Structure 1
């Protein structure tokens, strides 16, 4: 097989994967949310979660790889996020934890904004539905990393009744839980933000979750109405 044939096959494969890029992003996000509380704590579990987190960050980069500039920005954010994430296994310092939280938060937030922009401007497809799902999951994970950064920079920014960390200290799974409870505006009250920064993040997340649902539903209804009009014109 010649090099040109291999190149053409690679381009066709890339084109097919690009059409399912949001589905590819959604899968590790769902696994991360399901498995993080179960594997957090043990060393083997931590290694597995680091691999899964790395896969999530890589798929986040790939989700915005259709244009050069967003891809470059995502790569710049992904390198420190992945590097500091693995460095924490060797150097468990507060600085590395804070750097990993901030860099991951920026990458997730950037990916979220790019996907929302694609959903609003693009044609509604099956993969766009997965894009909307991934945006909602990314929002929860982005705010969770922000809470982790706040907790790392401010002592006792949250009151947590029973933390999943050693000696009932807060762990990332606690902030994942709090983030999605806040995003869905359920608010059980077992985790309470104390500082001004933590409280500001909490209510901003609640507002962003509500706004996203309103915008996405409006976009979906508009796309369905447009599709019905096009179908009626053809008939």
Structure 2
């Protein structure tokens, strides 16, 4: 009887704890987007190149698209949300036609649409972070989520470039083979963080121009957006102590 009574008492407490957790998660949608991007980043290498993996890749891509679309809807005006929705629908439709419909000629254009969506979502999140004069916890998560969105956007840009210019990217391993999505994403993160090119080298003028552009975007993002959030955080801390 005592055990049953304790379980009855603990059930509302557990329910309240779950509601509080959901409320905390709801206050930080940027953290959900960032977590989804990082989970996808770690999961892709384990199922890339298999039929089941391609299906899972598509599902993860749609989930990330929906989360990014939700963030755009939360932080931007109606026009930006409409543009993001149109690009998201076009990206999903073109991916389905290119993979399941056998229309392989759509592959570079599908990658280009994906890149446009991620660039648009990243621009909306940057505007959201720059519009405020104080750095909230969600904006700190948003800084990480925006960085991953930019990395995804440039990875899709390189995928489109590779589809239009086979052999534009070489690597230490299988230099003549097309670069896989995992390699393209790694290459994009390396360039965006300005840590160096690594073992993947752009060979054509167009690929080198894209690589240079990503390095520039990465440096400017760290210099303008991240440094501003850090400065606002330090300013708020000093004001709270005064």
Contact kept? 2:168, 2:207, Cα under 8 Å: yes
Residues 83 and 182 (structure 1), Cα distance of their counterparts in 2 relative to 1, 3 Å cut: same
Q: Does 1:173 align with 2:182?
A: yes
- Identify the residue that residue 54 of structure 2 maps to in structure 1: 46
Q: Does 1:102 align with 2:112?
A: yes
Q: Does 1:115 align with 2:125?
A: yes
Contact kept? 1:54, 1:82, Cα under 8 Å: yes
1:219 deviation in Å? Answer: 1.2
Distance 1:119 1:56 in 2: 20
Q: Does 1:72 align with 2:89?
A: no
2:194 to 179, 185, 188: 185
- Identify the residue that residue 70 of structure 2 maps to in structure 1: 62
Q: Does 1:200 align with 2:206?
A: no
Residues 163 and 137 (structure 1), Cα distance of their counterparts in 2 relative to 1, 3 Å cut: farther
Find the residue that maps to 2:170 and give its secondary structure. Answer: strand
1:33 to 29, 38, 41: 41
1:144 to 155, 164, 177: 155
1:19 to 27, 30, 36: 27
Consecutive unaligned residues of structure 2, counting only runs of 5 or more, are: 1-21
1:44 deviation in Å? Answer: 0.6
TM-score with structure 2 setting the length: 0.82
TM-score with structure 1 setting the length: 0.84
Distance 1:189 1:23 in 2: 29
- Identify the residue that residue 11 of structure 1 maps to in structure 2: none
Contact kept? 1:141, 1:176, Cα under 8 Å: yes
Residues 99 and 188 (structure 1), Cα distance of their counterparts in 2 relative to 1, 3 Å cut: closer
**C-alpha distance after superposition, 1:85-141 (max 9, x if no partner):** 222332344422112201110010001011011111123111111100011111111
Contact kept? 2:162, 2:178, Cα under 8 Å: no
Find the residue that maps to 1:192 and give its secondary structure. Answer: strand
1:180 deviation in Å? Answer: 1.1
Find the residue that maps to 2:99 and give its secondary structure. Answer: coil
Which region of structure 1 is more displaced relative to structure 2, 191-200 or 88-97? 88-97
Residues 45 and 221 (structure 1), Cα distance of their counterparts in 2 relative to 1, 3 Å cut: closer
Which region of structure 1 is more displaced relative to structure 2, 213-222 or 54-63? 213-222
- Which protein shows a greater Rg? 2
Give RMSD over aligned pairs. Answer: 2.3
Which region of structure 1 is more displaced relative to structure 2, 109-118 or 219-228? 219-228
1:225 deviation in Å? Answer: 4.0
1:169 deviation in Å? Answer: 3.1
Which region of structure 1 is more displaced relative to structure 2, 153-162 or 76-85? 153-162
